[in-house]
Chain A
Amino acid sequence: MLTYLLRRLLLMIPTLLGISIVVFTVMALSPGGITPQALTSGMEMKPEQRKAIEDYYNKRYGLDKPAPVQYLHWLNNVSPIGFISDEQGNRGEFSFNKPMDLGTSFQYGRPVSDILAERIPITLLLNLVTIPVIYLIAIFVGMKSATDRGGSFDVGMGMSMLALWSIPTMLAGVLLLGFFANIQHFQWFPTSGISSREALDMPFLPHWGQTGFVRGFLLDRVWHLVLPVICLSYGGFAALAKLMRTSILENLHSDYARTARAKGLSEHDVLWRHVFRNSLLPLITISAGLLPSLLAGSLIVEYIFSINGMGQLAVEAVKSRDRELVLSITWVSGLLTLIGYLMADFCYTLADPRVSYD
Chain B
Amino acid sequence: MIKPLISRESYAARVWRKTLDGVGVKVGLAWIALLVFAAVFAPFLANSMPLLMSKDGVISAPVLQYLSVEDAWVLATFFVALMVYRLQLGAGKRVLLFLLGAFVAAVLVNWVVKPPVLVIYDDFRTTAYTQVDWRIMPPIPYAPTDYLRDLVSKGLEAPLVTVGHTHLMGTEESGADVLSRMIHACRISLSIGLIASGIALFIGVIVGGLMGYFSGIVDMLGMRLVEIFEDIPTLFLLLTFVAFFGRSLYMMMVIIGITGWSGYARYVRQEFLKLRKQDYVQAAVASGLPLSSILFRHMLPNGIAPLLVAVSFGVAGAILSEATLSFLGLGVVDAPSWGQMLDQAVKSSTFNWWMAVFPGGAIFMTVFAYNLIGEAFRDAIDPKLASKAGHS
Partners in one complex: yes
- Contact present for B351 and A178 (CB under 8 Å): yes
Min distance, Cβ A194 to any Cβ of chain B, angstroms: 18
- Contact present for B244 and A27 (CB under 8 Å): yes
User: In the complex the two chains form, what is the Cα distance from A300 to B343 in whole Å?
Assistant: 11
Does A14 belong to the interface (CB within 8 Å)? Answer: yes
- Other-chain contact of A167, B225, B246, B364 (Cβ < 8 Å): B364
Q: Which bucket holds chain B's interface residue count? A: 35 or more
Does B240 belong to the interface (CB within 8 Å)? Answer: yes
The listed residue with most A CB atoms (<10 A of its CB), out of B24, B237, B375, is B237
**A154 contacts across to B, CB distance below 8 A:** 390
**B388 contacts across to A, CB distance below 8 A:** 246, 249-250
- Contact present for B360 and A174 (CB under 8 Å): yes
Residue of B nearest to A340 (CB): B231
**A326 contacts across to B, CB distance below 8 A:** 240
1/0 contact string of B94-105 vs chain A (CB within 8 Å): 000000000000
**A166 contacts across to B, CB distance below 8 A:** 316, 364, 367-368, 371
Does B227 belong to the interface (CB within 8 Å)? Answer: yes
- Contact present for B390 and A171 (CB under 8 Å): no
Which label, helix, strand, loop or mixed, suits the secondary structure of the A interface?
A: helix
Min distance, Cβ A293 to any Cβ of chain B, angstroms: 7
Q: Which bucket holds chain A's interface residue count? A: 35 or more
1/0 contact string of A1-33 vs chain B (CB within 8 Å): 000000000000011001100110011001100
Contacting B at CB under 8 A, from A130-155, are 146, 149-150, 154
Does B222 belong to the interface (CB within 8 Å)? Answer: no
**A338 contacts across to B, CB distance below 8 A:** 231
- Contact present for A168 and B228 (CB under 8 Å): no
The listed residue with most A CB atoms (<10 A of its CB), out of B230, B236, B375, is B236
**A337 contacts across to B, CB distance below 8 A:** 231-233
**B350 contacts across to A, CB distance below 8 A:** 184
Does A163 belong to the interface (CB within 8 Å)? Answer: yes
Known: A26-B240, A170-B360, A178-B345. 17 other contacts (CB 8 A): A22-B228, A27-B244, A166-B364, A168-B360, A178-B353, A179-B353, A245-B389, A292-B231, A292-B233, A292-B234, A296-B235, A299-B328, A318-B244, A321-B243, A330-B236, A337-B233, A338-B231
Q: Which of B85-93, B124-132, B284-292, B319-327 is the contact stretch?
A: B319-327
- Other-chain contact of A330, B227, B232, B243, B323 (Cβ < 8 Å): B232
Given A166-B371, A300-B328, A303-B328 in contact, is the A177-B351 Cβ separation under 8 Å?
yes
User: In the complex the two chains form, what is the Cα distance from A274 to B225 in whole Å?
Assistant: 40
- Contact present for B360 and A23 (CB under 8 Å): no
User: In the complex the two chains form, what is the Cα distance from A292 to B263 in whole Å?
Assistant: 14
- Contact present for A18 and B237 (CB under 8 Å): no
Min distance, Cβ B15 to any Cβ of chain A, angstroms: 20
Given A15-B227, A150-B390 in contact, is the A177-B346 Cβ separation under 8 Å?
yes
